[in-house]
Chain A
Amino acid sequence: MKEWTSQMTKEAMGEEQAKEKATSSEESAVSEKSTASCEYLLDVRKLLCPLPVIRVQEKIKSLSTGDTLVVLATDPGVLHDIPAWCRIHGHKVLNTQQNTKEIQIKIAPFLHIK
């Protein structure tokens, strides 16, 4: 085997993306809009369809009236799937933002009173 001759940059090998992956699928409350409601962040970056929808479906069950959920994703499929899932369940997509790498979808859940 020939000897190693030099080193590459971390960026070239995608370390930034590796870091992103390490922190993906985490969720947290990012801001408190009032004493009664929160805006939650659901990070589903790197997950592919239908996992982002499944994670949204699971998270929304834990929300309260007035809460909002911000979904951070990378799979372009969420641009169709999450709004479609919201429509059939009565949840409202408040806005969608997309840059070259990421998609952000803000949802106001419709919660059944049991």
Chain B
Amino acid sequence: MLAAKAILEQGLHVEGLNFFTGFCVEGHTHAIRKKSEKKQKRNNALWVAEQLGIKLHIIDIVEEYKNIVINPQYGYGAHLNPCLDCKIFMVNKAREWMEAEGFDFIITGEVVGQRPKSQRKHLMPIIEQKSGANDRLLRPLSAQNLAPTLPERQGWVSREKLFGFSGRNRNPQFELAEQYGIKDYAQPAGGCCFLTNESYTTKLKDLWQHRGHKNYELDDILLLKVGRHLRPRPHFKLIIGREEGENNYLEGYCANFIHLRVKDYNGPLTLLEGDPKEIGAEDLFLAAQIVARYSSGKDEAEVEVYIGMGKEEPRLLRVSPLTTNDIPKSWYLT
């Protein structure tokens, strides 16, 4: 937001690009969870664009991005975050868009030394080189710490009116925001990707490990954001809705998953993820006992649990709910 504002202030025409990877923290999670109903459901990129008075183009890169997540050339950060590869990929996509739409250069909000992986000074040149943007990539907030770029050398922008921010201290950015009259801003720490989230990436690693490969579909990575995930057996996992909004969301997947719900008691909708051919009667019985534990009938001696399986008619199973102590901590994927 600040980088775009700095260039707008110099009288240039700016349009925004926002890339949808499927791992975005905003949006889906807030839309799904009922308890987030009071939270304003705005897309922050759109909101920022409107505040700045610029157009925003949201680009779906879900398919192409898979290769970045699965095979990052520069490796992962603390979790499964391929930050350097991701930045190269997005700047490259921005370069392609720039060339197709007749724009002259790209700006990003990067600040030297602000992030441990992709914004270290000795790594930043890799981004401009590998993306093909080269000296058409300008970082307005850190420009004075970096070699002059084409827009600066050509006089399209005044280098003197750009900034020399560096490091993790964000006070200069907060002061600049105040100077611009910007009082509301989103994600000041830049943490908008689930691939930096320990709990989420534990579930993604589990998914990859038990499938034996890293390929994924959009629904796979969206479901990792929803519900409580337990793997009681190596060949199946349960995704248990934690509240009404999540149950409603999981309903949309019932046609493709074995699914369970307790009869006559409030409780979660649960998806069973695993190859149906490998799921035996004992597995379904155990799954039903676990689901019963998360229902309001958990203290009953027995409850009945509906189990739906693909196009087959749903059936009813009578089980004793497990207790908290019956569920080993190792089953929880968090």
Interface residues of A (CB under 8 A from B): 1-2, 4-8, 10, 12-15, 17-18, 20-22, 46, 48-51, 53-54, 57, 75-77, 79-81, 84-85, 87-89
Contacts and interface: CB of A to CB of B under 8 A. Distances in A.
B46 A7 contact: no
B60 interface: yes
Nearest to B304: A5
B42 interface: yes
A26 B253 CA distance: 18
Q: Closest 7 interchain pairs by CB?
A: A18-B255, A1-B281, A49-B27, A77-B41, A14-B251, A4-B315, A8-B314
Contacts, number: 125
Contact of B43 (A4, A10, A13, A49): A49
A79 B46 CA distance: 13
A14 B42 contact: no
Contact of B316 (A8, A20, A77): A8
A29 to B, nearest CB: 23
A17 B256 CA distance: 12
Interface string B16-30: 001010001011101
18 contacts: A2-B318, A7-B313, A10-B314, A12-B306, A17-B254, A21-B253, A48-B28, A48-B32, A49-B43, A50-B45, A51-B20, A51-B60, A54-B59, A57-B57, A77-B42, A77-B43, A84-B50, A88-B46
Given A8-B263, A14-B254, A2 B55 contact: no
Contacts of B222: 48
Interface of B: 18, 20, 24, 26-28, 30-32, 37, 40-43, 45-47, 49-50, 53-60, 222, 251-255, 259, 261, 263, 269, 281-282, 284-285, 304, 306, 308, 313-319
A17 B251 CA distance: 7
A44 to B, nearest CB: 12
B20 A54 contact: yes
A54 B30 CA distance: 18
Contacts of A89: 55
A22 B255 CA distance: 9
Given A1-B282, A21-B255, A49-B27, A84 B319 contact: no
A76 B31 contact: yes
B281 A49 contact: no
Contacts of B308: 8, 13
A15 B50 CA distance: 40
A54 B31 contact: no
A14 B54 CA distance: 42
A4 B252 contact: no
B171 to A, nearest CB: 30
Contacts of A13: 254, 259, 261, 306, 308, 314
A69 B32 CA distance: 26
B285 A88 contact: no
A76 B41 contact: yes
B20 A5 contact: no
Given A4-B315, A77-B27, A89-B55, A54 B252 contact: no
B317 A49 contact: no
A104 B103 CA distance: 35
A102 B162 CA distance: 47
B314 A5 contact: no
A83 to B, nearest CB: 10
